[in-house]
Structure 1
Amino acid sequence: MATVSPSWAYTLQLPHDPRAPGIARATLRTVLAAHGLTDVTPTAELLAAELLANAHRHTAGPYALRVRPMEPGRLRVAVWDNDPRVPPGFAAGGDLPAVPPDDAEGGRGLHLIRSCADSVGVSVLRELGASKGGKLLWAECQWGGLT
């Protein structure tokens, strides 16, 4: 008899606190280890780190990390925040900003995400009823050597 693995998804609500991205990365590592996905952990953690840092830096409110498997053999790492503005690297048909100079202290996050992810996207969420609006930026990567 074949066994079916139950689907799973995790969402971690985070306050706008400088410690929140680190807590989210630790939670992501724990979740991936619990599901036997340690081979994808470095890439997933880098994607989460960049998305979380942008949410913390460019918004004033809470944000959330969401992680869930996609079919086949893909993992989606997403970050929600309450600002509906979409960064240029995620806008449909939008170009990435220029690569910053070597001595710049920032500006490489979206380039890292685009380099490490197999696909990226955004959902702009309109405020309806209990929804908080904002946007959900996501990046997907493969696990287990699947192509």
Structure 2
Amino acid sequence: MPMPRCPLAPVFPADFTAPMPETVSYSLTLPAALASPALARATARAVLKAHDLHDMLDPALQVVGELTAVAAQFTESADFYLSLRYRAGTLRVIVYDNHPRHTQPHLATACDTRRRAALRVLGCVCRACDGDWGFGESREPGGGTRMWARLPRESAATYGTDTGRG
């Protein structure tokens, strides 16, 4: 006699919609290790290719690599969190590490200066793509630091080409 199906288990039909840019919504937790930025870039490359965002690969992978390298360096836990989202023609990359914001003003300024210096290449990439970036206190329950970058697809697609943008 077959087992009856659980009455509370919902039936979800398989979604055969092909991946498209608007469905980029991925998150992963990575170990705070030297290999993690390479793993994050490889994952982002696969995601962007699968969702037909080939034209954004170079700047997006640079951004992912920069943010995850800094997170691996700054976090005080065994791991950190990466999020990739694409909405309204813009790729959003967010990384959370658990390095707390300092309450002592001089220490907070020194730490922010160090983090900003570590992210200077990220800043150059974002400016070249008419995007933006930043970091600040995480609003997540565990606290820590949230770093982010936004890359508009239209500008990121021309990244590295000679468009006269310095």
Determine which of 87, 90, 94 is the counterpart of 2:112. Answer: 87
TM (norm. structure 1) is: 0.71
Higher helix share: 2
Deviation for aligned residue 1:123 = 4.5
- Cα RMSD (Å): 2.5
The share of aligned pairs that are identical, in percent, is: 34
| Contact 1:21/1:52 (8 A) holds in 2 | yes
Do the aligned partners of 2:74 and 2:97 also contact (CA within 8 Å) in 1?
no
Contact (CA 8 Å) 2:24, 2:51: kept in 1 or not?
no
Kept in 1: contact 2:91–2:151 (CA 8 A): yes
* Amino acid in the other structure paired with 1:115: C
Distance 1:9 1:87, change over 3 A: farther
CA contact (8 A) 1:123 1:136 kept: yes
Letter in 1 for 2:99: D
Alignment of 1:64-103 (within 5 A): 64-71=81-88, 73-85=89-101, 87-88=112-113
8 Å Cα contact 2:138/2:146 also seen in 1? yes
- Larger Cα-atom Rg: 2
Residue 78 of structure 1 deviates from its aligned partner by: 1.5
Q: Evaluate the alpha carbon distance shift between residue 75 and residue 89 of structure 1 in structure 2; reply closer, same or farther with a 3 A threshold.
A: farther
What is the DSSP-based 3-state SS (H/G/I as helix, E as strand, rest coil) of the residue aligned with 1:87? helix
Deviant stretches of 4+, over 4 Å:
none
- The answer to whether the Cα contact below 8 Å between 2:28 and 2:81 also exists between their aligned partners in 1 is yes
- For structure 1, the 5+ residue unaligned runs are 91-95, 97-106
Q: How many residues align?
A: 123
Q: Which residue of 2 aligns with 1:119?
A: 132
Residue in structure 1 matching 2:65, options 49, 59, 74:
49
**Which residue of 30, 49, 65 maps to 2:46?**
30
Q: Which amino acid aligns with 1:30?
A: A
Q: Is the 8 A contact 2:23 2:51 kept in 1?
A: no
CA drift at 1:50: 0.9
